[in-house]
Amino acid sequence: MITPFPSSHPHNPWLAHSVRIQRVTQETPGVATYDMAFDDASVAESFQFLPGQFNMIYLPGVGEVAISISGDPGQRGVVPHTIREAGNVTKTLARLPLNSSIALRGPFGSSWPVESCVGKDVVIVAGGIGLAPLRPAILHLLKHRSELDELTLIVGARDSSLLLYPERYDDWRAKGMNVLVTVDRADESWHGCIGMVTAVLDRLWLRDASKTVVMTCGPEVMMWYTVQTAIRRGIPSAQCFLSLERNMNCAIGLCGHCQFGPEFLCKDGPVFCFDRVASRMKVEDL
């Protein structure tokens, strides 16, 4: 069975665990995956997360940033995070040498509804670095591939040099996932599809739309139109899930920085059913 997931171990949300940067894999320009290994063996053994959850990565003297976990939920000891250099924390992180000691606290937040995918078709739509928070769900679903019907991943990127994890696509295909890749801009070397992920979703063959689950992560506008396309194709909105991003600071719903109407993205999200957040997604400045 896909379920049950072991629930995350009870933890003190304020307690940061010491980790070392064990390995850095450069994914695309400005984006790298950092494998973080716990110093404390007991934490390494007990740390569990659900696909879609995030950690707060803490760099002493610099600050803290919320980053989705991008690794295999079944893996113990090492927690990968795929991070784009964007602000002070992530830029400083990018300059740290291997084995540097930093800290993390977590895991936090809601997760992708992988348990509700049994016996259904699943369409995962990722744009840009949005593939990173979806990768744990992908890896988990591939482990339980026989319990699903159709499994499709639609990946979009600005251009082919910015595709995330392209070297994994063949392996995922071999394990039974239909991987469709599209780019916004193509050069002479690109022989694949050109256009938005919505266009690919629009022409995707659906075995039974009413029994299809959609999970999407990427720019909010992309996610909105991905879900609109899914709904137009007959997929119930209650079966569409997305991961929202706001400025998360405390990660436990106290500081209010990530408030989204009545929800706090850090504790009620980041993964939401579309129905729960749809009315607020087009509210300006929210």
Q: Which of 220, 215, 214 is nearest to 260 (CA)?
A: 220
| 49: alpha, beta or left? (left if phi > 0; alpha if psi -120 to 50) | beta
Q: E strand or H helix at 202, and its extent?
A: helix 197-203
CB of 164 to another protein, least distance (A): 10
**Residue number, 98 or 194, with CB nearest to another protein:** 194
**Residue number, 107 or 218, with CB nearest to another protein:** 218
Q: Which of 87, 86, 102, 138 is nearest to 117 (CA)?
A: 138
Cis peptide before 4 (omega within 30 of 0): yes
CB of 190 to another protein, least distance (A): 8
**Residue number, 84 or 140, with CB nearest to another protein:** 84
**Residue number, 125 or 148, with CB nearest to another protein:** 125
CB of 144 to another protein, least distance (A): 29
Q: E strand or H helix at 21, and its extent?
A: strand 17-28
Per-residue HEC secondary structure of 231-252 comes to HHCCCCHHHEEEECCCCCCCCC
**Residue number, 123 or 222, with CB nearest to another protein:** 222
CB of 54 to another protein, least distance (A): 12
Helix (H, G, I), strand (E, B) or coil at 28: strand
DSSP code of residue 69: B
Residues that bind another protein (CB under 8 A): 30, 63-66, 84, 86-90, 127-128, 156-158, 162, 182, 184-186, 190-196, 198-200, 202-203, 218-219, 221-222, 225, 245, 247
CB of 242 to another protein, least distance (A): 14
